A = this chain, B = another copy of it.
């Protein structure tokens, strides 16, 4: 991924504040994990927890304090400064199902867009302390106490590939494409949301195909995956867009992108 057209000093400041926002979200989220809270089922059946809302407010407070003119888009609290060139995109708990069931494989996502392009992305797992930091034009950084080294695994054939998605129930009308892919892939596993993309950036998963992603689901992930040598696109191989159809593919080895897209298209 090309270096962004932003001074190095500014970019470093954006990364530091993105990490501070992740820290703030984690501090809100941790006490709620496995605290026995119920899911607050709203009209669309999506669980919205106190942790989610509190964490987004904490992230927004950090960002506004440092960059009052930047835009902010969050799942819970809408849009601020929508016309700004630099816009933060937040998802305090990506993987709500994992969070509610007590699986430590959800994540807090912070991304910075320059126009339509994500240039900074942080995937943070606040319970395990794992964090991936992706910056356009730079190698992805990872910290964590469970091991793992940044870099997609060399894997040029789908037959050898480890395939993943959060749930087969996410595909709707796109299920046949997913089924062609899972029939061709070596092995398939489920669960993980953003955490699975972090594992792809560590060479533990080779291909992820998903549908129905929103901008706050993918914006932080793109720099992490591409900074680990991988590729992340829509199902036509084009960059993901805020007004796209929500279908996304990520590969650790760029050689897997073309055969994956071909199977999804049918």
Q: Hey, which bits of chain A sit against chain B, CB under 8 A?
A: 33-36, 39, 41, 45, 47, 97-98, 100-105, 127-128, 146-149, 153, 162, 164, 167-169, 186-192, 195-196, 199, 202-205
A162 touches B34 (CB 8 A): no
Q: Measured between alpha carbons, how far is A60 from B191 in the docked complex, in Å?
A: 32
Complex Cα–Cα for A153 and B104 (A): 19
Q: How far is the CA of A153 from the CA of B35 in the complex (A)?
A: 12
A114 to chain B, nearest CB (A): 31
Please name all residues of chain B whose beta carbon is closer than 8 Å to the beta carbon of A148 when the two chains form the complex: 34, 102
Report which residue of A33, A100, A146, A153 has the largest number of chain B beta carbons within 10 angstroms of its beta carbon: A146
How far, in angstroms, from A88 to B1 measured CA to CA in the complex?
53
A103 vs B34: C-alpha distance when bound (angstroms)? 18
List chain B residues, Cβ under 8 A from A34. 146-149, 202, 204
A191–B47 alpha-carbon span in the complex (Å): 19
Closest to A195 in B: B103
Please name all residues of chain B whose beta carbon is closer than 8 Å to the beta carbon of A167 when the two chains form the complex.
188-190
Q: Does more than half of chain A's interface fall in helix, strand or loop, or is it mixed?
A: loop
Please judge, given known A-B contacts A39-B187, A128-B128, A190-B190, whether A105 and B102 are in contact too, CB under 8 Å. Answer: no
Q: Check if A147 sits within 8 Å of B35, measured CB to CB.
A: yes
Q: Which of B41, B147, B191 contacts A190 (CB 8 A)?
A: B191
CA distance in complex: A187, B45 (Å): 9
A-B contact pairs, 30 of them (CB 8 A): A33-B146, A33-B147, A34-B146, A34-B147, A34-B148, A34-B149, A34-B202, A35-B147, A36-B153, A36-B203, A39-B186, A47-B187, A101-B164, A101-B196, A101-B199, A102-B146, A102-B204, A102-B205, A103-B105, A103-B192, A103-B196, A103-B199, A104-B104, A104-B105, A104-B146, A105-B105, A105-B191, A169-B188, A189-B191, A191-B191
A127–B158 CA distance with the chains assembled, in angstroms: 29
A103 contacts across to B, CB distance below 8 A: 105, 189, 191-192, 195-196, 199
Determine the distance from Cα of A72 to Cα of B104 in the docked complex, in whole angstroms.
33
